[in-house]
C-alpha cells in the first residue's frame, strides 16, 4: 500500500521524488538542463530487464548517456556533418578507444609520424605489447600510403596538421588508398575543429576532436568526441565504452554545450590574431621559420586551402641558428602568455616542444620549437609582448657572441 508522504519521517520524505504544486510541466530555457545521474530509474521491473534494448539511443545508466550528454552528441553531429557522435572523457581517451575497439592481436595500424604524442606512446607501448603491429609513416606520404598497407592493416591514423610540426596531410589520397585495401581511416582533426574541416567528407571513417581545446574553450574541461557516419562503427565504439566503463559528466557536457555556442566567434578571433602574429614573427630577425599552413609559403598551404575552410590559433615557430637554445629564455620572458600544455583557451598559451625524439619514420633536425596558442587578447598587446621577449634574446645572443673567446 502506498503511504501518504505526510506521514513519512523527514529523512524518508526527502528521498521521495519531489512534490510540486502543479505537475512537472515541460520547461524550456535557453540552456540544456544539467542532468546528473548514476542510477536511471525505470517505471517497472520489465523495463529494467529490457533496458539494453535501447542502449544506443536511450538511457540505461548515467555512465552511458544522460539527456545532457545526448544533447551535446547531437549538437556535435550537426556541426560535423556526422550521423553519430560519441563522447569520451578526453581527446586521448577518444583516440585510444578507437584503437582498442578496432585492433586485435595480429592486426596492423599505420600512424602518422607527427601524431599527438600521448597516442603515439599508447601505440608504441600498449598496442605493441598486445601484439598489434604499429608502423609510423611520413605525414607527407599521400597516395604512397598504399605501399605500407599490408593484408593485416586495419586502421590508418591521420592528423592534419600534425602536432607541433604542422604538416598538412593529403587526407583524400590517403583515404582512397586505404579504402581500396579494406582498411579504415581515423582522423584526429582537433586543430581544425569541425568548423574548418569536415574530415568525414574528405574520406575519414571516424573523426576525433579534443573538446578540451576550442569546444570547451576556457581551459577548464577535459573531453573528447568521436564522429562517424557508420552506425556499425558507432555501435562497436559505444559497446567498448560499456565494457571499459567510459562516460562523461553532465556538468562538463553543459560547459561544452555553452562553449560551442561561442566557438565560431572565438576561433575566428584566435585565427585572425594568430595569422597576424605569425606574419609578424616571420619578419623578425630572430625567427627562422613559422610553421602555419595559412601562410602562403608554408609547404602545406596548397593542400590546406583545398581541404580546410579556415585555420585555428595554434602554430609553431623556430629560432634562427644564432638563437638556438634560447627558446626557454624567450618563453620565460613573455608576460602575457601562460606556459602550459593544451590550447584553445581564451588565454594565450605557449610551450616549448622538441619533436626530435618522437620521430621514427622521418627525421626532425631543427630541434626545439615554440608552440603558440593565440587567445582572445588584443593582438597588438600580444605582438608587443613577443617583440620585447625577442629583443631580450637579441641582447642575450649579443652577450653570448661577445663572451666567445676570439678564434
Which spans of this chain sit near ligand PLP (rule: CB under 6 A)?
Answer: 90-92, 116, 159, 163, 188, 190, 210, 212-213, 222, 224, 342
154/389 Cα distance (integer angstroms): 47
Q: Are 166 and 371 in contact (CB under 8 A)?
A: no
Q: Are 89 and 253 in contact (CB under 8 A)?
A: no
**Closer by beta carbon to ligand PLP, 311 or else 393:** 311
Residues 6+ apart with CB under 8 A from 331: 337, 339, 350, 351, 352, 370, 389
87/169 Cα distance (integer angstroms): 25
CB 30 → ligand PLP: shortest distance, Å? 27
What one-character DSSP code corresponds to residue 100? H
**Closer by beta carbon to ligand PLP, 170 or else 209:** 209
CB 91 → ligand PLP: shortest distance, Å? 2
**Closer by beta carbon to ligand PLP, 98 or else 389:** 98
Sign of the torsion angle spanned by Cα atoms 303, 161, 366, 339: positive
CB 343 → ligand PLP: shortest distance, Å? 7
**Closer by beta carbon to ligand PLP, 75 or else 92:** 92
Q: Does an H or E element contain 287, and which? A: strand 287-291
111/236 Cα distance (integer angstroms): 21
CB 254 → ligand PLP: shortest distance, Å? 17
**Closer by beta carbon to ligand PLP, 164 or else 333:** 164
CB 309 → ligand PLP: shortest distance, Å? 18
| Helix, coil or strand: residue 388 | helix
**Closer by beta carbon to ligand PLP, 77 or else 90:** 90
| H and E: helices and strands count for the chain | 14, 12
- Number of other CB atoms surrounding residue 212 within 10 Å: 25
Class of residue 363 by CB neighbours under 10 A (exposed 0-12, middle 13-18, buried 19+): exposed
67/48 Cα distance (integer angstroms): 18
CB 190 → ligand PLP: shortest distance, Å? 4
| DSSP one-letter string for 321-388 | GGGTT-HHHHHHH-SSPEE-S---SSS-EEEEE--GGG-SSS---S--EEEEE--SS-HHHHHHHHHH
Closest CA to 211 of 308, 79, 305, 102: 79
**Closer by beta carbon to ligand PLP, 249 or else 286:** 249
CB 71 → ligand PLP: shortest distance, Å? 20
**Closer by beta carbon to ligand PLP, 59 or else 343:** 343
**Closer by beta carbon to ligand PLP, 138 or else 288:** 138
Residue whose CB is nearest to ligand PLP in the complex, by number: 91
Amino acid at each position: 500500500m502506498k503511504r501518504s508522504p505526510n506521514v513519512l519521517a523527514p529523512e524518508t520524505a526527502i528521498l521521495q521524488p519531489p512534490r510540486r504544486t502543479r505537475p512537472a510541466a515541460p520547461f524550456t530555457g535557453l540552456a540544456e538542463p544539467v542532468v546528473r545521474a548514476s542510477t536511471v530509474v525505470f517505471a517497472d521491473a520489465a523495463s529494467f530487464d529490457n533496458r539494453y534494448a535501447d542502449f544506443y539511443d536511450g538511457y540505461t545508466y548515467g555512465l552511458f548517456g544522460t539527456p545532457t550528454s545526448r544533447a551535446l552528441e547531437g549538437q556535435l553531429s550537426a556541426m560535423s556533418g556526422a550521423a553519430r557522435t560519441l563522447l569520451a572523457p578526453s581527446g586521448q581517451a577518444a583516440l585510444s578507444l578507437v584503437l582498442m575497439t578496432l585492433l586485435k592481436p595480429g592486426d596492423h595500424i599505420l600512424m602518422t609520424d607527427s601524431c599527438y604524442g600521448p597516442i603515439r606512446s599508447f601505440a608504441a607501448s600498449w598496442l605493441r605489447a598486445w601484439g598489434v603491429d604499429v608502423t609510423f609513416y611520413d605525414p607527407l606520404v599521400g597516395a604512397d600510403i598504399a605501399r605500407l598497407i599490408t593484408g593485416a592493416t586495419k586502421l590508418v591514423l591521420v592528423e592534419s596538421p600534425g602536432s607541433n610540426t604542422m604538416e598538412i596531410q593529403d587526407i583524400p589520397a590517403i583515404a582512397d588508398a586505404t579504402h581500396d585495401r579494406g582498411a579504415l581511416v581515423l582522423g584526429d582533426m582537433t586543430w581544425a575543429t569541425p568548423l574548418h574541416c569536415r574530415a568525414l567528407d574528405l574520406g575519414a571513417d571516424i573523426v576525433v576532436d579534443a573538446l578540451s581545446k576550442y569546444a570547451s574553450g576556457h581551459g577548464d574541461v577535459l573531453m573528447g568526441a568521436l564522429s562517424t557516419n557508420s552506425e556499425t562503427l558507432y555501435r562497436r565504439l559505444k559497446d567498448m565504452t560499456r565494457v571499459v566503463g567510459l562516460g562523461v559528466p553532465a556538468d562538463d557536457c553543459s560547459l561544452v554545450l555553452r562553449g560551442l555556442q561561442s566557438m565560431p566567434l572565438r576561433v575566428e578571433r584566435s585565427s585572425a590574431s594568430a595569422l597576424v602574429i605569425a606574419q609578424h614573427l616571420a619578419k623578425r630577425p630572430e625567427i627562422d621559420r613559422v610553421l602555419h599552413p595559412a601562410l602562403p609559403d608554408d609547404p602545406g598551404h596548397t593542400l590546406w586551402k583545398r581541404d580546410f575552410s579556415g585555420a585555428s590559433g595554434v602554430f609553431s615557430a623556430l629560432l634562427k641558428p644564432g638563437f638556438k637554445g634560447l627558446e626557454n629564455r624567450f618563453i620565460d620572458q613573455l608576460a602575457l602568455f601562460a606556459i602550459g600544455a593544451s590550447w584553445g583557451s581564451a588565454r594565450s598559451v605557449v610551450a616549448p616542444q622538441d619533436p626530435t625524439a618522437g620521430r621514427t619514420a622521418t627525421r626532425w633536425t631543427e630541434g626545439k620549437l615554440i608552440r603558440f596558442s593565440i587567445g582572445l587578447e588584443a593582438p597588438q598587446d600580444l605582438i608587443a609582448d613577443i617583440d620585447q621577449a625577442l629583443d631580450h634574446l637579441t641582447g642575450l645572443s649579443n652577450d653570448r657572441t661577445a663572451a666567445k673567446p676570439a678564434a
